[in-house]
Amino acid sequence: MSTFTDSPEITDRIGFRGDMRISASHATNVVTRRLVALDSIVVCKKRAGFRAEDVRAFSEVLEEALDEEPKFLIFDFAHRTGSAPVEFGVDGLPELVHACANLIANSNVVAIAWARGPMAGADLEFALSCSMIVAEAAATFALSPYGSAYSFLARKIGVARAERAMLNRDVLDSTAMRDMLLVRHVEETINDDDAAIETFLRGNLRRHNALAHMYRAQRLVMPVPYELVRAAHAA
């Protein structure tokens, strides 16, 4: 299934480091790394928020993942400072968010949002569309009714709790998010490479099938239709 038709080629250089295949997009904000030994892909976005080129880069990876079905697909929100600007009408963002949810419902890929810093706006919306969120201890989450974030949040913690949190515009730390069952794991190690990600993946390789089936079942039981995502962005 393709999210974009005739999408531009986003890769301008490819390299190898050990068993890691690295490609960078024209917009150096997004770098993709393939962890061959772990059958996983890491997509690193270096700045907060989504621009058109970021949407294209993430979309390309989602299309490839639907075909290749790696065990884990990690979206590394690598920014540690700043927060996503509240930008409405970013072309392709509703399709991107739905494509991520669709990947989980139609494959055995476990999509992980890895949060290192402030998560808000489109960053948080996309993270909530993933199978799970892993957060470094310093990450924060600004809950607000941006786009379809409320819809994903309500399906995870219930309508009443989601409504209260978003209307209050709560800013929660990683521990609070874990207590609400919105963050699966809080990573205490702080580094800028993939070491913590690789350690987490190794610890979950044996349970991959169970995780994939569980998250797939969740999306089938509590789907977020594309029409809802699109309408939320049009509101």
d(C-alpha 81, C-alpha 91), whole Å: 25
Do residues 74 and 130 touch, judged by C-beta distance below 8 A?
Answer: no
d(C-alpha 106, C-alpha 204), whole Å: 20
Per-domain residue ranges for the chain?
11-234
Residue-averaged pLDDT of the chain: 85
- pLDDT attached to residue 168: 85
d(C-alpha 187, C-alpha 194), whole Å: 12
Which of 73-77, 126-130, 228-232 is least confident? 228-232
What is the homologous superfamily of the domain 11-234 according to CATH? Answer: 2-enoyl-CoA Hydratase; Chain A, domain 1 (3.90.226.10)
- pLDDT attached to residue 88: 56
One-letter amino acid for residue 12 of the chain: D
Q: What is the mean pLDDT of residues 83-107?
A: 82
Q: Flag whether pLDDT at 159 surpasses 50.
A: yes
Q: How confident is the model at residue 22 (pLDDT cuts 50, 70, 90)?
A: low
What residues contact residue 41 under an 8 Å CB cut-off, 6+ apart?
Answer: 32, 33, 34, 35, 61, 64, 65, 70, 72, 73, 74
d(C-alpha 92, C-alpha 217), whole Å: 26
Residue among 50, 57, 48 nearest 23 (CA): 57
Phi-psi region of 48 (alpha: psi -120 to 50; beta: other; left: phi over 0): beta
Do residues 153 and 166 touch, judged by C-beta distance below 8 A?
Answer: yes
Q: What is the mean pLDDT of residues 182-210?
A: 94
Q: What is the pLDDT of residues 215-231, one digit of tens each?
A: 999 999 988 889 989 88
d(C-alpha 210, C-alpha 167), whole Å: 35
Q: Flag whether pLDDT at 4 surpasses 60.
A: no
